[in-house]
A and B are shown apart, each in its own frame.
Chain A
Amino acid sequence: MIVSVGWYMTLAAGLFSLGAVGVLLRRNALVMFMSIELMLNSVNLTFVAAGGELGLIEGQVAALFVMVVAAAEVTVGLAIIVAVFRRRGTANVDQLSELEG
């Protein structure tokens, strides 16, 4: 059986869903962030698979761009998490909430 593009898509969908679960259910800010990275990776996989199926190089180009943005985002996001940790002493997003509504 040949691996068709649908396999890759389904796998990517699965990874995406798992990433979503991680964002919604984990309380550690770092793990949430990593889940977001997982989601980005699944999207990258989709891009490259679709590009291969359509014969367009743009799929890989898009994936590259996503990677650049993700890298920049990780940089700044981690800096924020560190700054928050320094001030509040915790990386648990539930404990960081100040709203009492």
Chain B
Amino acid sequence: MSLASLLLDAAGVALILLGCFFTFAGSLGIIRFPDLYTRLHASSKVVTLGIGGVAVGSLLMGPSVASGAKILLSVIFLFLTAPISSHAIGRAGYYSGVRMCPETAKDDYETHAIAEKREKLLKARVRGRAWLGEKTQRDVYELVSQRMQRTLEVVRVMHRAVQDFLKGDLATMEEEASRTIKLENEADALAVRALEVITKSQLLPEDRADLLNLVYHIRHIGTAAKALAYRLELAEEYHFPSAVVPGLRELAEAVAETVETLSAAVTQLNTDLVAAEDLSDLVSQLEDHVDGLRRNLVKRLLRESQLLDAASFFVVNEVIMRLEDLADACENTADYIRVISVKYLRLA
């Protein structure tokens, strides 16, 4: 072995070791630096330099022509492409709203047209983002949404039945109560179909779970409405305390409004998640309102309880409880909608 090749080997080993050291230092920077833009320095400059060192060191150690050509070519490509790809990553980070760490933040684009474009892109992304994008997903969602619309109809009919009950128009009430039950059974067939489609279609486990939960929650609302209708059918002869009538009417109205708002939230779920979240918040507020109304109503009912026979007390109490159940089911659904929208709104 000649002195020259020995020296070349030594130089090659030194360069390779140096290159490995730089690569390691760059990786350390990727872990330790505070934000994306500083980490990009480590990734694009230091690691690329380290790999260049390893490659040149290997070339000095005298590989065959074929091997050397491959190493040289790949390193040339790496040096050409590394700046382009790190520029693309930085640009993607900036446009998708990655924040700078406060110690290094100096945004030269602040007064530039690019910052405006960024704001516009971010706003469009956060406001307009929908939950499910693909066609199969949207078809399933369509079924779920239809189920919600049906539930809304059921609750409307039920609301009318409660009002007739309060007016004392028992014949109409009975008819409407049985219509509520019939409508709800029809609507439930839709839910069963939705469950079937969810089970069979090609969905991610995550989306499948979300859709299933949503269907189950919406189903609870319908079930609560049906239970209320059954209770109303029971009420044939009754002696009604007039003092609770306005309170009960108000309660029924508040519950119906809650369901209307919830239905709007479900409709927004696939067009605008932020709007869906706002509507869900509104549903929670309405549910609190319903709770307050119910407390007052129960207080008044207990005060009047001497005037009532057991059967009437039972029916009125049951109606109040079922209305409360309905509102609770609405709130659970609203909570789940909030879970979905928070899950898919990381940028907000």
Chain A complexes with chain B? no
